[in-house]
């Protein structure tokens, strides 16, 4: 049985929803899964070119499982939240090793894979199998919180529980694939975070937040917390052949597993960078030239980056050689790089200002 909520939503979707996104073609569990992971905290318009390039390079779960991690991360570079890419490959390996290359058919088994939670597992089942499973991504939370005037921030356990209850009760038994796309589309296109188009919403007649004239109160806001400020030196060490030194980040944490420019503690003054580089990397350098600093914001802190360019004048023998590479810029740009590092290396005119 389909309730009136789902009926209205499906009628709207048939006329106004998105029916031709790249992952709507050949909706295999693998293709749906990749799209769902990319779409986490990322807009559709941003994801589309990344998705197409990713699927061209890794058309099957086997291709992804067997690919070099650097290759996977390079195709994710710029999307952010790089743990998603690392978990994507870990899950691909598990699918090959534990499930013979076929995605498991149950929600419980899907949730057991790295990086797949309850909503993502449900989306894979609903979108690829057209089987009933309730989803609750950010857009869906917003629609349901407003429609039912659910108080509180969705990150709180009681609020999340109430939203899951509503998600389950409204998910129909038929046209589940269309319904899950419809409610995501409604949140993305009509019931938006700011300035929602309530007059175009098919659910406006039953929306409690609209009836109370309290749309802006739902969903509840996350309690504000000031982000700490951090500072770092980011070094562009260039050898006589024009190669730049890159450093492999630890596998977990910020930019985990990506290649980055080496960093030094901000306690060093500019005049101390030469000596610091010799001590840490075992190379002799010229005096540093400074590039304009900038701020990069992570989910939980702001990082003030002060780039400095130093030309290597002596040996290029590096301490910890396994974690460092001398690469020309075009070679470096083919690797998985954090967005600010990619920007610095891709804009040599910026370095020319030194």
What one-character-per-residue DSSP string does 75-102 give? HHTTT--THHHHHHHHHHHHHHHHHTTS
Read off the pLDDT band of 81 (50, 70, 90).
confident
**Please, what's the largest Cα pairwise distance for the chain?**
76
- Closest listed residue to residue 245, CA positions, set 219, 274, 191, 283: 283
- Residue 353's pLDDT is 40
Q: Which two tokens stand for residue 280?
A: 């840490």
Residue 3 has pLDDT above 80, yes or no: no
From the list 36, 208, 272, 278, the catalytic residue is 36
In angstroms, rounded to a whole number, what is the distance separating the alpha carbons of residues 154 and 160? 5
User: pLDDT, tens digit, for every residue of 173-218?
Assistant: 999 999 999 999 999 999 999 999 999 999 999 999 999 999 999 9
**Are the CB atoms for 318 and 330 separated by under 8 Å?**
no
User: pLDDT, tens digit, for every residue of 258-276?
Assistant: 999 999 999 989 889 988 8
User: According to CATH, where is 1.10.340.30 located in the chain?
Assistant: 4-217
- Residue 285's pLDDT is 87
**36 assigned to active site:** yes
In angstroms, rounded to a whole number, what is the distance separating the alpha carbons of residues 3 and 13? 15
Task: Name 22's bridge partners.
Answer: none
What is the dotted CATH code of the domain comprising 4-217? 1.10.340.30
CATH topology for 229-351 is Nucleoside Triphosphate Pyrophosphohydrolase (3.90.79)
In angstroms, rounded to a whole number, what is the distance separating the alpha carbons of residues 132 and 169? 11
Q: Which two tokens stand for residue 343?
A: 């920007």
User: According to CATH, where is 3.90.79.10 located in the chain?
Assistant: 229-351
> Is the previous residue joined to 219 through a cis bond, with omega within 30 degrees of 0?
yes
Task: Name 247's bridge partners.
Answer: 260, 324
User: pLDDT, tens digit, for every residue of 124-159?
Assistant: 999 999 999 999 999 999 999 999 999 999 999 999
In angstroms, rounded to a whole number, what is the distance separating the alpha carbons of residues 336 and 324? 14
């Amino acid at each position: 049985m389909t309730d009136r909520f789902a009926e209205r939503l499906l009628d709207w979707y048939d006329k106004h929803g998105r029916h031709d996104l790249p992952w709507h073609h050949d909706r295999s569990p693998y293709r749906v899964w990749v799209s769902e992971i990319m779409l986490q905290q990322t807009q559709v318009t941003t994801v589309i070119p990344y998705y197409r390039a990713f699927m061209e390079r890794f058309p099957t779960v086997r291709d992804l499982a067997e690919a070099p991690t650097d290759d996977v991360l390079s195709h994710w570079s710029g999307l952010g939240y790089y743990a998603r890419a690392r978990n994507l490959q870990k899950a691909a390996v598990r699918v090959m090793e534990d499930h013979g290359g076929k995605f498991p058919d149950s929600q419980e088994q899907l949730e057991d894979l790295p990086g797949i939670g309850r909503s993502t597992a449900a989306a894979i089942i609903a979108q690829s199998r057209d089987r009933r499973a309730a989803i609750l991504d950010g857009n869906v939370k917003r629609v349901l919180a407003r429609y039912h005037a659910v108080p509180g921030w969705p990150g709180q356990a009681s609020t999340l529980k109430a939203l899951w209850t509503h998600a389950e009760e409204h998910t129909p038994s038929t046209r589940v694939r269309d319904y899950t796309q419809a409610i995501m589309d409604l949140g993305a296109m009509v019931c938006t975070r700011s300035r929602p188009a309530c007059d175009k919403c098919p659910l406006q007649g039953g929306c409690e937040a609209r009836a109370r004239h309290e749309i802006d109160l739902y969903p509840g806001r996350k309690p504000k917390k000031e982000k700490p400020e951090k500072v770092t030196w980011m070094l562009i060490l260039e050898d006589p052949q024009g190669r730049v030194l890159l450093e492999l980040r630890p596998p977990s944490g910020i930019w985990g597993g990506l290649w980055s420019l080496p960093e030094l503690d901000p306690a060093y003054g500019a005049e101390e960078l030469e000596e610091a580089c010799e001590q840490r990397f075992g190379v002799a350098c010229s005096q540093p030239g400074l590039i304009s600093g900038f701020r990069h914001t992570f989910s939980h802190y702001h990082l003030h980056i002060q780039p400095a360019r130093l030309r290597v004048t002596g040996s290029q023998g590096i301490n910890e050689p396994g974690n460092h590479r001398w690469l020309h810029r075009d070679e470096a740009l083919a690797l998985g790089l954090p967005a600010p590092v990619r920007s610095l290396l891709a804009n040599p005119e910026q370095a020319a200002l030194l």
